[in-house]
Copies of this chain bind each other. A is one copy, B any other.
């Protein structure tokens, strides 16, 4: 069994095939889909030597090509990491089935019943940079939710992706599932072609740099689950507990600086600024955080004997993804809200305050998928929310929004069952009334 290389004109056929295969998968009971996932985990275990060898070859080529260190780190798959990936597949097997959940069950009239029930989206298009582990995770989530998936990994991970897909196909075959449910693309041309397949692909999930996600969003009419930027703020209110505020600021910036839910800008109420900065500046600098500040913050720091860099207008709109933090004084919660609604990327925004009314105003007026009070923005995460899995984080306004679990891979359908009911019965002079009784 080999993973075939597909030329662009064949992509429509491939996607149609995936669509049909996914429809059969969707019709299977939960236990059968779970069995397929268990079978995939087993096949991955059996193929571990081949997978690690393929990854070693990718890594060797990456070193020769001078791949940037962070990309290399994400590419590398050792025995421990692979075991973790396979354990993740078994976790997916144990998640509740997102398909078949009844959301509305209503009698419209005697013998006429409407049911709104969750069902798979159909076909997912997933495009990612480097990380071969992402391929396995998303393929198992797709099978779990009854969807087909067309995967496109990074060029630097092509051997790893092929070895992993081959193992996944072996697992599917052993479970009697059509292999077309999981397809792998390997060329950049296919990525562009994939984005045009709005008739056959229902959702695009891009996993990569901001620029990459933005490219995807701007070049497809297929819905995209993702976020380009993660410019999150922490607002330290005049009524903040200073020690709490310092601890949250340090955590939100330094716990994982390249995460999308790390903060990029700290907004500080002027009334608490001298007191807060006296503790916050040394605490952040102790963690090697570079501070870029507005003139007023700069002056307060100077009065405290610290010289800080000056922020430019561009700083307020920058996601550093690094140990850099912009700091700005504001005169009111309203000014903080206005700044956030101007520069924020609608991801996660937090306030530290002991004033319940101010917190309420902040949470009602800030436009973001997550609004947090007296805790770190880093909690904005599918696993931390208890979703069991995270498909992506969306900063769009319509649901699914914020961290998206398996729920984001299903939609719903209205099923109406009657006994010969016709609409004419319910209109005109003799119109019968609907009962609209929830069952």
Report chain B residues within 8 Å CB of A56.
Answer: none
Query: Smallest CB-CB separation from A417: which chain B residue?
Result: B373
Q: Within the assembled complex, what's the spacing in Å between the Cα atoms of A396 and B201?
A: 12
Indicate whether A371 sits within 8 Å of B415 (C-beta atoms), given known contacts A384-B108, A397-B122, A436-B386: yes
Q: Which residues of B contact A378 (CB under 8 A)?
A: 422-423
Contacts of A367 in B (CB 8 A): 23, 122
Query: Which of A36-44, A69-77, A81-89, A243-251 lies at the binding interface?
Result: A243-251
* A172, chain B: closest CB distance, angstroms: 20
Q: Which of B372, B412, B419 contacts A417 (CB 8 A)?
A: B372
Minimal beta-carbon separation of A35 from chain B (angstroms):
19
Is A121 on the interface with B (CB-CB < 8 A)? yes
Task: Write out the residue numbers on chain B whose beta carbons fall within 8 Å of the beta carbon of A419.
Answer: 244, 374-375
Q: How many copies does the complex hold?
A: 2
- Chain B nearest CB, measured from A164 CB (Å): 27
Which residues of the other chain, B, contact A114 by a CB distance below 8 angstroms? 379, 385
Asked if residues A247 and B422 are in contact (CB atoms below 8 Å), the reply is yes
Residues of B near A27 (CB, < 8 A) are 364-365
Query: How many angstroms from the CA of A141 to the CA of B403 in the assembled complex?
Result: 29
The answer to whether B379 and A423 touch across the interface, beta carbons within 8 angstroms, is yes
Chain B residues with Cβ below 8 Å from A243 are 420
In A391-408, which residues have CB < 8 Å from any B CB? 396-399, 401-403
In the complex, chain B residues whose CB is within 8 Å of the CB of A411: 397-399, 401
Flag if B414 contacts A375 (CB, 8 Å).
no
For the complex, give the distance between the alpha carbons of A217 and B27 in Å.
31
Residues of A within 8 A of B (CB): 23, 26-27, 106, 108, 112, 114, 121-122, 202-203, 217-218, 221, 223, 241, 243-244, 247-248, 250-252, 255-256, 359, 363-365, 367-376, 378-380, 384-386, 396-399, 401-403, 411-424, 426-427, 434, 436
